[in-house]
């Protein structure tokens, strides 16, 4: 039956590290693996054990968590790779054999029969040592398919438990993917997986097509991260199957957004605002006509309820805002306004929008409180801060705060002066609130070294999100201003 018992092998931990500039610590890998396990993925590819001792330490740390998912190591068709995987006590290996003539002849400088024998020998060796083996054909979409089928079946005869077809440089198209997998699934003697890259933006479409054709497992990553243009996004495949094809996947979809944000934070790879399902704008609305429709029925401008992904709907205000937008946003902040007050708030919002400003939550709250003549005393006030930074010192910051009238002095370190200052402020308010920095964005408003900079932050506390702004010529002070504006609106 179509999409029946689809399995997911998640390669975030390995493919994420193939992305330039990403270096995950053992703690990072454990945190991501634990979250993937909570999602319900079947197999977690924790890395490639042959890479380094540090990589092996991180794989062993993931294994030590005793997760429900099988823990897998990527291996080449070389016995030392298997030995290193065994030393990490993994459950399975993703054993990758180059199968296109381009990879066999040019990369390995070998011939087909040599590669076939290497694949068989290493499969047998891994099975003799008790490992589950998924034998994978690298660059399969450019391979001779008859050779590929024969190599797969020889691998199964040697003990391979699963097979995998890798579209290594993203050259498949959906109709071809479905046709190939109808042919492959009938010709091979073991379950077959699909592993796609997104070079032409077709990774999800090709994965769905392969599953329709008979693939029983999809290789995926959170946020679609991976080398070059990335890999198939887990969240896109899962929600396509569940929402468009109406089949359950066994994935806990309410944890998808949290997992996305965790991976983004630990890898340092931001999620594009317009990314499907988990991008910042996916459930964000500004235009008055849209919000008016949402108030009548959310399905008018949303294909799926945000709560399904563990998200919340967001109303953003600017020059396109209408009465419906402002009414809903103000109501969500807990204010009641009459028609005259609403008109005044709307005009002030549009005025900011006309000047090219993004109206943050803190801006709207300030505008509303001004119109309603509400006086609010800040619970956290900066008295002074000091930052030490340089090319030969660890960035360090100390702050003196008034927290609910009490003087608090704290210090912190970070990757830079802003990060260190944020760390010290977070320590300073830890007694009254645990506030998390979700997003940080800075823009220069004017040119030159004395440019006025604008900092936008998104903060969260107990599931509540808020955006806030700071503007100064000093980037650290602008960041602090934005942070404190947000904190004082959250607590």
Task: Give the angle 66-90-87 at the CA atoms, nearest 5°.
Answer: 120
pTM, full prediction: 0.79
Question: Cα–Cα distances in Å, from 355 out to 46, 54, 97, 350, 352?
Answer: 48, 51, 58, 9, 5
Instruction: Give the architecture (CATH level 2) of 380-490.
Output: 2-Layer Sandwich (3.30)
Distance, in Å, from the CA atom of 160 to the CA atom of 96, rounded to the nearest integer, reads 12
Using the 8-state DSSP alphabet, how is residue 270 labeled?
P
Whether the domain at 7-267 and the domain at 380-490 fall into the same CATH topology: no
Print pLDDT tens along the chain (491 aa).
Answer: 688 889 999 999 998 888 887 889 999 999 999 999 999 999 999 999 999 999 999 999 999 999 999 999 999 999 999 999 999 999 999 999 999 999 999 999 999 999 999 999 999 999 999 999 999 999 999 999 999 999 999 999 999 999 999 999 999 999 999 999 999 999 999 999 999 999 999 999 999 999 999 999 999 999 999 999 999 999 999 999 999 999 999 999 999 999 999 999 899 898 998 999 999 888 876 654 555 556 556 677 788 999 999 988 777 777 777 787 788 788 877 888 888 998 888 888 888 778 777 777 778 888 888 788 777 788 999 999 999 998 889 999 999 999 998 999 999 999 899 999 999 999 999 988 889 888 888 876 655 656 678 888 888 888 777 888 888 888 898 899 889 988 988 88
Residue found under tokens 């054999």: 97
Instruction: Give the architecture (CATH level 2) of 7-267.
Output: Alpha-Beta Barrel (3.20)
Distance, in Å, from the CA atom of 486 to the CA atom of 428, rounded to the nearest integer, reads 15
φ, ψ at 281 (rounded to 5°)? -95, 0
Q: Tell me the domain boundaries of the chain.
A: 7-267, 284-372, 380-490
Write down the pLDDT at residue 330.
84
Write down the pLDDT at residue 468.
85
Write down the pLDDT at residue 97.
98
φ, ψ at 64 (rounded to 5°)? -65, -15
How many beta carbons lie within 10 A of that of residue 435, not counting itself? 22
């Amino acid at each position: 039956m179509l999409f029946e018992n689809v399995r997911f092998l998640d390669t975030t931990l390995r493919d994420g590290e193939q992305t330039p500039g990403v270096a995950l610590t053992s703690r990072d890998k454990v945190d991501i693996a634990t979250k993937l396990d909570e999602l319900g993925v079947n197999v977690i590819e924790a890395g490639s054990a042959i890479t380094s001792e540090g990589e092996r330490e991180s794989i062993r740390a993931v294994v030590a968590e005793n997760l429900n998912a099988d823990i897998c190591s990527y291996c080449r068709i070389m016995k030392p790779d298997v030995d290193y995987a065994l030393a990490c006590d993994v459950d399975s290996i993703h054993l990758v054999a180059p199968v296109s003539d381009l990879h066999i002849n040019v990369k390995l400088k070998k011939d087909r029969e040599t590669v076939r024998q290497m694949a068989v020998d290493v499969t047998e060796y891994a099975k003799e040592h008790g490992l589950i083996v998924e034998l994978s054909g690298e660059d399969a979409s450019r391979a001779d398919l008859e050779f590929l089928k024969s190599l797969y079946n020889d691998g199964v005869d040697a003990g391979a438990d699963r097979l995998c077809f890798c579209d290594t440089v993203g050259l498949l198209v959906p109709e071809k993917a479905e046709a190939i997998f109808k042919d492959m699934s009938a010709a091979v003697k073991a379950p077959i997986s699909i592993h796609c890259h997104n070079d032409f933006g077709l990774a999800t479409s090709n994965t769905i097509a392969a599953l329709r054709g008979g693939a029983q497992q999809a290789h995926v990553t959170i946020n679609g991260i991976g080398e070059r243009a990335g890999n198939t996004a887990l969240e896109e495949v899962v929600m396509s199957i569940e929402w468009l094809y109406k089949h359950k996947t066994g994935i806990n979809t309410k944890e998808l957004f949290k997992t996305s944000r965790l991976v983004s934070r630990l890898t340092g790879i931001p999620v594009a605002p317009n990314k499907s399902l988990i991008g910042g704008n996916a459930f964000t609305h500004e235009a008055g006509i849209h919000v008016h429709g949402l108030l009548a029925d959310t399905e008018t401008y949303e294909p799926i309820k945000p709560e399904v992904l563990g998200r919340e709907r967001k109303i953003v205000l600017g020059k396109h805002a209408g009465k419906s937008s402002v009414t809903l946003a103000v109501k969500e902040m807990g204010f009641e306004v009459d028609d005259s007050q609403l008109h005044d708030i709307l005009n002030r919002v549009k005025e900011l929008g006309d000047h090219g400003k993004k109206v943050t939550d803190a801006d709207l709250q300030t505008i509303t409180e001004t119109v309603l003549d509400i006086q609010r005393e800040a619970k956290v006030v900066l008295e002074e801060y000091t930052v030490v930074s340089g090319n030969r010192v660890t960035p360090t910051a100390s702050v003196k705060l008034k927290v609910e009238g009490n003087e608090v002095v704290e210090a912190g370190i970070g990757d830079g002066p802003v990060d260190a200052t944020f760390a010290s402020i977070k320590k300073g308010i830890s007694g009254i609130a645990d506030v998390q920095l979700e997003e940080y964005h800075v823009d220069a408003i004017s040119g030159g070294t004395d440019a006025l900079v604008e900092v936008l932050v998104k903060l969260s506390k107990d599931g509540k999100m808020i955006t806030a702004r700071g503007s100064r010529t000093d980037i650290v002070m602008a960041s602090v201003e934005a942070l404190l504006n947000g904190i004082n609106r959250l607590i």
